[in-house]
Homo-oligomer: A and B are copies of this chain.
Amino acid sequence: LRTGFPEVIWSPGKTPDQIAQIMEVMRLRNPVVMATRIEGAVYAALQSRVRGLRYYESARICAITPPEIEPRYPGTIGIISAGTADLPVAEEAAVTAELSGFHVQRLWDVGVAGIHRLLNNRHVLTSASVLIVVAGMEGALPSVVAGLADCPVIAVPTSIGYGASFGGLAPLLTMLNSCAAGVGVVNIDNGFGAAILAGQILRTAEKLRLASSDS
């Protein structure tokens, strides 16, 4: 039912052999096949087994793709992250969105403790059709962003932090309690899921546009 999106493998608990096999089956029915949560050593093992495999290192994603991946839908997915350590999750979102045919604009390292970096880059918030906001520790960024932007905001808590972060529980609760309405939250570290939701939003927009131009 998610035709148009890549085939995806969630790798934890699977051997390289199993991943390679599933990828080979999937490539028969879909031009884009991707596997998430791939550490460097697993990629090394996959490389010889799967022809034409690309590795997006900081996103920890392996993918089989056509030579060129062009955006196929109008609109931009803005992806914003709070700290350097949140990057792998933010990149998981970005690469998933790009492999799914969407245009992505990245804005890294604009945590709320230095609000001016965010304010100086407000054009990213304004020009996006949907925003993904990634933050660990206290996870306050999505609230601030949702207050500044006028589009749907998807919040991704990360497990970055220590002590009373309790593995990402702290930013998760922060985001669920956001006093800025219009924020949807996904699981801790789930950059992938955020990208799929953002993609669904742009596809819905495209369907409505086609429907309106039909009539």
Are A187 and B209 closer than 8 Å at their CB atoms? Answer: no
Give the residues from 159 to 215 in chain A that come closer than 8 angstroms, CB to CB, to chain B: 159-190, 192-193, 196-197, 199-209, 211-213
Are B187 and A162 closer than 8 Å at their CB atoms? Answer: yes
Residues of B close to A154: CB separation below 8 A: 184
Are A184 and B197 closer than 8 Å at their CB atoms? Answer: yes
Give the residues from 137 to 162 in chain A that come closer than 8 angstroms, CB to CB, to chain B: 137-140, 143-144, 146-154, 157, 159-162
Interface 9-mer from A46-54, A62-70, A78-86: A78-86
Stoichiometry (number of copies): 8
Are A12 and B162 closer than 8 Å at their CB atoms? Answer: yes
Measured CA separation A178–B202 after assembly (Å): 21
Chain A residues in the interface with B (C-beta under 8 A):
1-3, 8, 10, 12-14, 74-75, 82-85, 111-115, 119, 129-130, 137-140, 143-144, 146-154, 157, 159-190, 192-193, 196-197, 199-209, 211-213
Residues of B close to A152: CB separation below 8 A: 197, 200-201, 204
- Min CB gap A198→B, angstroms: 9
Measured CA separation A188–B176 after assembly (Å): 8
Are B204 and A129 closer than 8 Å at their CB atoms? Answer: yes
Are A183 and B186 closer than 8 Å at their CB atoms? Answer: yes
Measured CA separation A119–B147 after assembly (Å): 13
- Contact A187 to B197, CB < 8 A, known contacts A1-B149, A115-B115, A204-B130: no
